[in-house]
Amino acid sequence: MAPFITKFEPYEPEEYVVDKKNGTKSPARLEKIAIVGSGSWGTALARVAALNAAGREGFDPEVRIWVREHEVPGRGKLTEIFNRTHQNERYLPNVDLPENLVAVPSLKETVRNASLILIVVPHQYLPGILEELKEPGLISSRARAISAIKGVEVVIQKDEQGNSSTAEIHTYPSVIEKELGIPCTALGGANIALDVGRGEFCETTIGVPSAKDAALWHAVFDGPTFRVHPIEDVAGVSLSGALKNVVALAAGFVDGMGLGGNTKAAILRIGLLEMSTFTLEFFPGSSPLTFSHHSAGVADLITTSFGGRNRKCAEAFIKSKPQYSGGKSFEQLEKELLNGQKLQGTLTSREVFEFLEAQGRLEGYPLFEKVYRIAFEEMDPKRLFEDL
Amino acid sequence: MAPFITKFEPYEPEEYVVDKKNGTKSPARLEKIAIVGSGSWGTALARVAALNAAGREGFDPEVRIWVREHEVPGRGKLTEIFNRTHQNERYLPNVDLPENLVAVPSLKETVRNASLILIVVPHQYLPGILEELKEPGLISSRARAISAIKGVEVVIQKDEQGNSSTAEIHTYPSVIEKELGIPCTALGGANIALDVGRGEFCETTIGVPSAKDAALWHAVFDGPTFRVHPIEDVAGVSLSGALKNVVALAAGFVDGMGLGGNTKAAILRIGLLEMSTFTLEFFPGSSPLTFSHHSAGVADLITTSFGGRNRKCAEAFIKSKPQYSGGKSFEQLEKELLNGQKLQGTLTSREVFEFLEAQGRLEGYPLFEKVYRIAFEEMDPKRLFEDL
């Protein structure tokens, strides 16, 4: 219905070899999928990819997922438990995973010979992972990546007096593309991992650098209950995934103050406009339609602001404050509430704030500014609505 | 932030008279507000208008609200109770209303001499009300109206064989404008009446026929916690208010089936696109920004789909069906759950369905079609996601 959806031909193997004995033909090469990251979202996506790989011509059915090894007291090694039970008990409990999804303790062995690499890790871990993946010869120059990382990379260069002088912002697909030298797609929402794990109907937008990426990643992830829509806006999809978590913090503040649906809807509307305006200001090739029309925009924001972990912690943050001061920090709440998962919104909030401050552009983004000040500078949350 | 917001000068009285004795000047005429309708939304808006009228130069502080008279057993007449307690106990309980908001049992006396008339009634009651208001001389030709009615008027002319031949659709502001001969603005959401009654922060979009209407209605309703944004799209604001209730039924079906936030967000995204596409197809002067950027679009849809009465009844409708068949009708549920309030979404769903069917355009609106068939033709609600 919306314009600028990427046109592509459905995936087919490029070349076939014919068996001279019996005349059957088979693909010359198999696409091989690797999943870097085994949190709840990584595992949910791995499940979808492994189900597709098992049934689709041209794909190696074995999908590898990197699981950091450790000993589970009394039960053995985590990867062995994963491969025996076909469950990720900690991060995606009660969801049966396909048997062709194989946990591998070594990052390098996970990606070796892979042609399609999904990177889905908390953004604070990415630099170390990319360092390891850059080993010469490990990743084929014909491979492709897709990033489901929620966040942005902000680089602020200070001058000699310690004042900020220049500020840069990069999306993770562009960082991955630059570091690994392979094209990188952005995978957006709207998705709460557990619901995807249960196979409930949902939609996902992918921002693709080419029609070939559209066809391949569509083949990896699309299915009757997981609809994949490729669009031509890699930066927009990536930015939306990062910035929506900042707005979700504001939604959580609204919930924490006990305010109703009108207030929350107003905050979401204003937040969606700031997300779109920010992206168009700093990534001028992006499209406002990514935010207003596509699942990675408006739908992901809604899902996250009603059901996500940033909302949850932000609500608890406000409720921990008698008279809206004192109370718990987000670091404490992350430990208490998230069972080892990481909070992305607060980190993104800080990075976006520092970037806008260095750019002298805070006044254009009153909601982003206030979320930061409430989260980190003890601003009274009732001031969230000023100047909006 | 978005374009096509109406530019206007803040309201000021047009003429003053000077008291020759002491030199003080005062407005030559006072704007007088009348509220036609005293349901929960009408009462919440009346409260906002009365608070503003009490403090704003150029306005008669007395705001009249039409309350259908009846005897409350053991307590006297309803209008007298309203004017004594300053509460609308049935439809907006526990909210104190300003003393300058006066309940009047006669519709004609409510609007006589009014210059600003808010019409906020269930759309099934409008024809009778307009008939009464059309009495010659009752409404000044200088008066202006604003409609907060959620619905559309569909007129289907059948040919001699009983097949439909022509179908027309009209918005209520255009019906009111035609019947009463005065300009009519559309008032949109996002608003749940009770939250507005409690003075929580929210936003409202008004679609205005002129900058003068923008200034006047902004003066009537805008305040620190009730932000009014005038835009130049009367039909879009009115259509959004009607069609969002159809999407909210779909959201309620999702809730009733026990599906999660991803599914609901996908339905909301697709529903918002159908709302926008429908409006642009049949009201080509409208703007897609009304839906994607403004409170009357995306924010009202979110509020309604999480907290409104259509969602609530639609959830109960599904839950009343063992194996998704049989169960209660919407008529029953309206009586059981809404305490005398009316359900607008089912009526609008039927009207929109009949209009699209007569136009031969059902295939362009699969979500609208399915909502109707689930609500009225026993379609299995699990089929909601087909062909979307």
Q: The domain that contains B41 carries what CATH number?
A: 3.40.50.720
Q: B227 with B250, same domain?
A: no
Chain A CB contacts of B299 under 8 Å are: 265-266, 268-269
Number of neighbours of residue B39 by Cβ within 10 angstroms: 18
Residue contact A302–B265, C-beta within 8 A: yes
| Partner-chain contact A190 B265, CB within 8 Å | yes
CA atoms of A181 and A356, how far apart (whole Å): 29
Same domain, residue pair B298 and B216: no
Domain assignment present for B2: no
Q: Which residues contact A72 (CB under 8 A, 6 or more apart)?
A: A78, A81
Q: Are residues B112 and B216 in the same domain?
A: yes
pLDDT band at A3 (very low <50, low <70, confident <90, very high): very low
Alpha carbon distance A103, A118 (integer Å):
14
Do B211 and B249 fall within a single domain?
no
- pLDDT value at position A229? 95
Q: Inform me whether the C-beta atom of residue B266 falls under 8 Å from chain A C-beta atoms.
A: yes
In a domain, B11, yes or no: no
- Distance CA(B242)–CA(B251), nearest Å, equals 15
Which member of A259, A294, A306 has the closest CB to residue B306? A306
Mutate which: A200, A257, A262, A275, vs B, most B CBs within 10 A: A262
SS3 content of chain B, % helix, strand, coil (to 5): 45, 15, 35
Verify whether the Cβ–Cβ distance A307 to B201 is below 8 Å: no
Number of C-beta neighbours around residue B27 at 10 A:
16
**A15 is a domain residue:** no
Interface contact B268, partner A, CB < 8 A: yes
Asked, for residue A195, whether it belongs to a domain, the answer is: yes
What three-state secondary structure class fits B288? coil
* Residue B254 sits in the same domain as residue B295: yes
Range of the structural domain that residue A95 is part of: 26-232
Say if residue B210 is in the same domain as residue B295.
Answer: no
Last residue of a domain, one of A207, A232, A257: A232
Q: Are B376 and B248 in contact (CB under 8 A)?
A: no
Whether A38 maps to a domain, the answer reads yes
Residues 6+ apart with CB under 8 A from B75: B81
Query: Of B205, B232, B259, which residue is a domain's last?
Result: B232
| Cis peptide leading into residue B251 (ω within 30°) | no
Q: Measure the CA–CA gap between A31 and A113, rounded to whole angstroms.
A: 9
Q: Is B306 on the interface with A (CB under 8 A)?
A: yes
Q: Do A260 and B192 touch (CB under 8 A)?
A: yes
The two tokens of residue A177 are 């593309």
What's the gap between Cα B303 and its chain centre?
14
**Does A261 lie at the interface with B, CB-CB under 8 angstroms?**
yes
Both tokens assigned to A54: 């098992």
Instruction: Please report residues of A whose CB lies closer than 8 A to that of B257.
Output: none
CA nearest B302 in A: which residue? A265
A178/A313 same-domain check: no
Residues B214 and B360 in one domain: no
What is the percentage of chain A residues whose pLDDT exceeds 70? 98
pLDDT at A2 over 70: no
Q: What is the pLDDT of residue A4?
A: 66
Q: How far is B304 from chain A (nearest CA, A)?
A: 8
Tell me if B261 and A307 make a contact (CB, 8 A cut-off). yes
CATH of the domain at B370: 1.10.1040.10
Which member of A25, A77, A244, A370 is catalytic? A244
- Dihedrals phi, psi of A269, to nearest 5 degrees: -65, -45
- For chain B (388 residues), the mean pLDDT of every run of 10, in chain order, is 72 91 91 96 96 95 96 92 95 94 98 97 92 95 95 89 84 97 95 84 94 97 93 96 97 94 94 97 95 95 93 94 80 84 89 95 97 95 85
- The number of domains in chain B is 2
> Does residue A372 lie in a domain region?
yes
Task: Please indicate whether residue A169 or residue A163 has the higher confidence score (pLDDT).
Answer: A169
Q: Where are the alpha helices (DSSP H) in A8-116?
A: 40-55, 78-85, 107-111
Proportion of chain A above pLDDT 90, given as a percent: 78
A7 is catalytic: no
Binding-site residues of A for substrate sit at 150, 309-310
Active site residues of B: 244
Q: Which conformational region is residue A332 in: left (phi greater than 0), alpha (psi within -120 to 50 degrees), or beta? A: alpha
Q: B202-207 and B184-187: which strand pairing?
A: antiparallel
Residue B109, number of CB atoms within 10 A of its CB = 13
Annotated binding site of A for NAD(+): 37-42, 193, 309, 342, 344
Q: Looking at beta carbons, which residues of chain A come within 8 Å of B192?
A: 260-262
Q: Is B42 annotated as a binding residue?
A: yes
Please tell me whether residues B120 and B199 are part of one structural domain.
Answer: yes
* End-to-end CA, chain A: 31
CB neighbours of A314 closer than 8 A, spacing ≥ 6? A248, A249, A250, A251, A252, A253, A255, A256, A345, A375
B38 is in an annotated binding site: yes
pLDDT for residue B324 = 65
**Chain B positions in Cβ-Cβ contact with residue A2 (cut-off 8 Å):** 273
Shared domain for B313 and B216, answered yes or no, is no
* Residues A216, A342: Cα–Cα separation, whole Å: 30
Considering the domain architecture, whether residues B105 and B200 belong to the same structural domain is answered as yes
The token duo for B2 is 């978005």
Alpha-carbon span B359 to B79, nearest angstrom: 46
Looking at B203, B232, B261, the residue that finishes a domain is B232
CB < 8 Å to A198, chain B:
260
The answer to whether B263 and A200 are in contact (CB under 8 A) is: yes
Cβ neighbours for B354, distance < 8 A, ≥ 6 positions apart: B154, B156, B164, B167
Q: Is A259 within 8 Å of B194 when comparing Cβ atoms? A: no
pLDDT above 90: residue A231: yes
| Per-residue model confidence (pLDDT) at position A143 | 97
**In this structure, is residue B78 part of a structural domain?**
yes
Nearest to B272 among A259, A266, A298 (CB): A298
The answer to whether A305 and A247 have CB atoms below 8 angstroms apart is: yes
Q: Are B226 and B256 part of one and the same domain? A: no
Question: Do B262 and A385 count as a contact with CB atoms less than 8 A apart?
Answer: no
Minimum-distance CB partner of B299 among A269, A292, A293: A269
Identify whether A13 is part of a domain: no
H or E segment and range at residue A229: strand A226-231
